[in-house]
Amino acid sequence: MKHFKIQKNSSAVDEIIKMQLEKLPPLTKVEIVVRTVTPYYCINAPKKISKNCKWESKNTFRSNSDGLIDLNTFPSLAGTYSGVYPMGCLTFLIPSKKNLLNKEQKSNKTSFNEFCVFEITALLDGEILDQCRIKRFFVNKNIKHKLVESNTFQGRFFYPENETNLPAILILSGSEGGIEKAQAIAQLIANHGFATLAIGYFGIGNLTKDLSRIPLEIIEDSISFFKSQKMIDSKHIGIYGRSKGAEFALLAASYFSEINCVVVNSPSNVVYEGISNKGFPTRTSSWSYRGKNINYFPFSFKTFFLSKITHKDFPLINENSSCEIPVEKINGNILCIASSKDEIWNALEASKRIQKRLAKYNFQHQFNSNYVENAGHMLTIPCQPNSRYKNIDKKLLMNDTYETWNNTVSHFKDNLKQNSYQL
């Protein structure tokens, strides 16, 4: 007998779908086991976990008097998580074994991570009642892609097929380098009716291995690429950056007026010193333009260790305001996303300083903020496991992730004047 009733057998990674079981014995405990059966890309997974690693969740639910279980609205009584959480059986997967992963260095060898198939099994007293499979995709089948490579960057371009006047968004990830995280975000945003370009700006292919003196010309070249694509409305260009990519995004948007919508996730309000691939300061700026260093805040081990002893934030930004990003020059509305528990840098304080500077210079556009209290620095996409924070309630962490992701998509829709592309 078939018991599973799934709203969609194929759905986007960031989409909540109804998942129910019916015609069960009333008031009976049923174990639900979810396993990956194809390679699974998790944006939050530690680098050493391979995509070929198997992920799994096991949770026990009780059917109601009508013999129904709704996996989104009924509480998990025991297992990988407890209580009620939409898509919890997928959101709180655990890797079953860890495989060492050799980082893919070239964008044409980095997997597109298009989808993953999950097998869902219902068991009663250890016996299989029913099984089904669902597919969760990063890119809808109507999204096309192509490689974009230049002397300054390597990227992947995603766009809805047979659409015109598409607003376009540049996607920048953080200090991990490569392209996979930016690609995952670009893919999902493309599903919502945008052309997106995931940019790898270091640590990939023949590009520099250091996050140092990265040329702003990367963004200039990317804008030129958008302008050359006939399906794109080049009057509506946005940019998204997270972590170090947020610093890059704010700086780039302050230089290039073609960018008229900005979302920054866990940002800095200053330009920092560059970082070598060994994790040491480079004594140069992170960014450059026309061959010259952008003013930057130099790293000091003395100041860093003093900040740890005194429990004060590093760096003491007020001491060197010349490294502040001139955000007042940005030609569009800004959304800043930050957590009060950011463990990498004080993104919340940085966001407030961005707002203060905008007010000081009578910024002519809107500044919007989305501040959360439970997540840390790793605020990415919903419905994927995030085991980075052992001491944070994982349901509260995911609530913050849903909220900030939905606000990201909404900000682009509202400000780039694009109707949602229907999946």
Active site residues: 243, 342, 377
Helix and strand numbers (H, E) in the chain are 7, 23
200 forms bridges with which residues in the sheet? 154
Enter the DSSP assignment of 168: E
Taking each helix axis from N to C end, the angle separating 394-415 and 180-190, rounded to the nearest 10 degrees, works out to 60
Neighbours of 81 (CB within 10 A): 18
Enter the DSSP assignment of 103: P
First CA to last CA distance, the chain: 31
The half-sphere exposure of 145 on its side-chain side, counting CA atoms within 13 A, is 25
11, 133 Cβ separation under 8 angstroms: no
- Rounded to 5°, the CA angle 256-327-365 comes to 85
Q: Are strands 143-149 and 69-70 parallel, antiparallel or unpaired?
A: unpaired
State residue 317 phi and psi, 5-degree precision: -60, -35
Question: Distance of CA 171 to CAs 44, 200, 285, Å?
Answer: 17, 9, 21
323 alpha carbon, distance to own chain's centre: 26
Calpha distance 338→378 (Å, rounded): 10
Question: Distance of CA 141 to CAs 11, 50, 190, Å?
Answer: 11, 25, 11
Q: What are the strands, taking DSSP E only, across 232-362?
A: 232-242, 259-265, 273-275, 281-285, 287-289, 292-293, 333-339
Two structure tokens written together for 66 = 């009508």
Contacts of 126 (CB under 8 A, 6+ apart): none
Closest CA to 23 of 59, 80, 66: 66
Tokens 């950056």 belong to residue: 241
